Amino acid sequence: MAKEKKVTEITSMDEDFAQWYTDICKKAELVEYTSVKGCMVIRPYGYAIWENIQRILDAMFKDTGHENVCMPMFIPESLLQKEKDHVEGFAPEVAWVTHGGNEKLEDRLCVRPTSETLFCEHYANIVHSYRDLPKLYNQWVSVVRWEKTTRPFLRSREFLWQEGHTIHATAEEAVEETERMLNVYAEFCENALAMPVVKGRKTDSDKFAGAEATYAIEALMHDGKALQAGTSHYFGDGFAKAFDIQYTDKENKRVYPHQTSWGVTTRLIGAIIMTHGDNEGLVLPPAVAPVQVVIIPIAQHKEGVLEKANELKERLAKAGCRVKLDDSDNSPGWKFSEYEMKGVPLRVEIGPKDIENGQCVIVSRWNGEKVFASLDELEKTVAEKLIEARDGMYNKALENMNNRTYFCETMDEITKTLEENGDGFIKAMWCGEEACEDEVKEKTGVGSRCIPFQQERRAGNCICCGKPAKCIVYWGKAY
RNA sequence: CGAGGCGUAGCUCAGUUUGGUAGAGUGCUUGCUUUGGGAGCAAGAUGCCGCAGGUUCAAGUCCUGUCGCCUCGACCA
């Protein structure tokens, strides 16, 4: 019978989380593989999610005073090598262009893995006076990092992202910018993606190559693994010195400016999948869902059903809703499954019986709740249900994160906690020494995720060496 | 890059042990009947068996090489 069909079935996440993830990517028509490893086709439905992410974030960037620019995709090797830590961090995973046509290039070109060096070269040209500062730039492009192990959205060799690059007169201003943008990311994740995050600073060993400080938002996935959802870096004047960017200040002195960079990537789509998805498939937060409401006519061949369905579609579209009417001749049951798999937040069913009663059925994807709604109040009810979906999804994800966050006082306790409860966030005190950080990872398998801004003192000593602790740290297994 | 697994129809896979006409389910196309949880019947189309060599009268099957994908590690957004 129908229920035995395997083709469209999604592997249960308890059975095989990795396969569940891959199934959703394919069956929800988000991506398709290509003949180049790690380079995927982002299909229309997947790309539409990215477009919504872009649209909302871009508005937030503009609101905070940023301008979009576009840098070249190639970086000459000589330019990449100007900042020592930076090149060391990225060189192992860059792709090189060695030929132009049949001619071998004198200075080979790397395909940008990130664009700090290009922005620096540019800033050196255009920043001369304190009057030229700050420059608050951002670009939406793709970058290439030749990863060995690849997974759709989480780790691909080419990925889409935005990279903000700003340059300021003072360190204070730059630090402020770094924090501001991390907050923008956190706000976006929590409001638009209904995804709770932990804001914090990365330990020194985990800093971006060339940064003075790296901040990150960390999210916890359904399987208890952590995912870095966004980063913001403070560079101090290190890049300015390496690239010889100087300006004349008010006192007519030549000084170095201070820089930042910050980015989020299509990995956010992976985060959405693994934060909200369930065994029926994807569950999309309304703000970024390509289709917010799907209308499914029941017995659509019957007089008046399609007309009514179209009328509802027009009304919802007019009310500002992204709405789709599926009048294909697939059975209603097929359509239910299809749009559940694709994570459409709300389903509106309209059939002869409903029309007779002046109502329709509204089903929420995130909790499966089914209600009858008066057709007169359709717009209002749909709007309420969409808000309810965002709030419900956020609270559910927050509860999952809280339930999977543990405080530990000894290394053995970490091991025991992970064994008993599965992966999650471990909160533990730390002395600040890299040796201890390494030892924790080696002995328990969890790495430091971040030093949260929201500090608490739950014990006096470092979990590893027992010396006085400096801070509490979130530890976890990461994607 | 280390360890393991897998490449046969759009998809999931059988067939490989023991060489002998290329298979199933699902999907796709057409028609009719259906329609409140992946509908039914009938007819039809679809294959460089990952790629390259080799052994053989004969290779999806055996041998060698190679490429790709998946899982787990190490590295990373």
Q: Which nucleotides of B are covered by protein (CB under 7 A)?
A: 1-2, 10-12, 25-27, 34-40, 68-77
Residue A155 per-residue DSSP state:
B
A33 touches strand B (CB under 7 A): yes
CATH domain A293-386 topology: Rossmann fold (3.40.50)
Q: Which of residues 291-320 of A touch strand B (CB under 7 A)?
A: 298-301
A365 touches strand B (CB under 7 A): no
A228 touches strand B (CB under 7 A): yes
**pLDDT, greater one: A310 or A420:** A310
Q: pLDDT tens digits for A40-76?
A: 888 899 999 999 999 999 999 999 999 999 999 999 9
Q: pLDDT tens digits for A101-140?
A: 878 888 889 999 999 999 999 999 999 999 999 999 999 9
A5 touches strand B (CB under 7 A): yes
Centroid of chain to Cα A371 = 32
Distance A250 CA to B38 C1' (A): 71
CATH code of the domain occupying A2-276: 3.30.930.10
Residue with nearest Cα to nucleotide B67 C1': A35
Q: Residue A22: how many CA atoms within 13 Å on its side-chain side?
A: 8
Please, what is the Cα angle at A309 between A303 and A341, to 5 degrees?
120
CA distance A85 to A104: 28
For residue A384, pLDDT over 90 is answered with yes
Q: Which residues contact A167 (CB under 8 A, 6 or more apart)?
A: A119, A123, A127, A133, A134, A135, A174, A240, A245, A257, A258, A259
- Domain residues of chain A, as ranges? 2-276, 293-386, 405-476
Q: Which of residues 48-67 of A touch strand B (CB under 7 A)?
A: none
ipTM at complex level = 0.83
Nearest-nucleotide field for A361 (CA, C1')? B36
Q: Residue A473: enclosing H or E segment and its boundaries?
A: strand A471-476
Q: Which residues contact A356 (CB under 8 A, 6 or more apart)?
A: none
Q: pLDDT tens digits for A318-363?
A: 999 999 999 998 999 999 999 999 999 999 999 999 999 999 999 9
The amino acid sitting at A181 is M
Instruction: Please indicate, yes or no, whether the overall pTM of this predicted structure exceeds 0.90.
Output: yes
> Does the structural domain A405-476 have CATH classification 3.20.20.80?
no
Q: Which of residues 187-226 of A touch strand B (CB under 7 A)?
A: 208, 216
The answer to whether A169 and A151 have CB atoms below 8 angstroms apart is no
For residue A2, pLDDT over 70 is answered with no
CA distance A30 to A470: 44
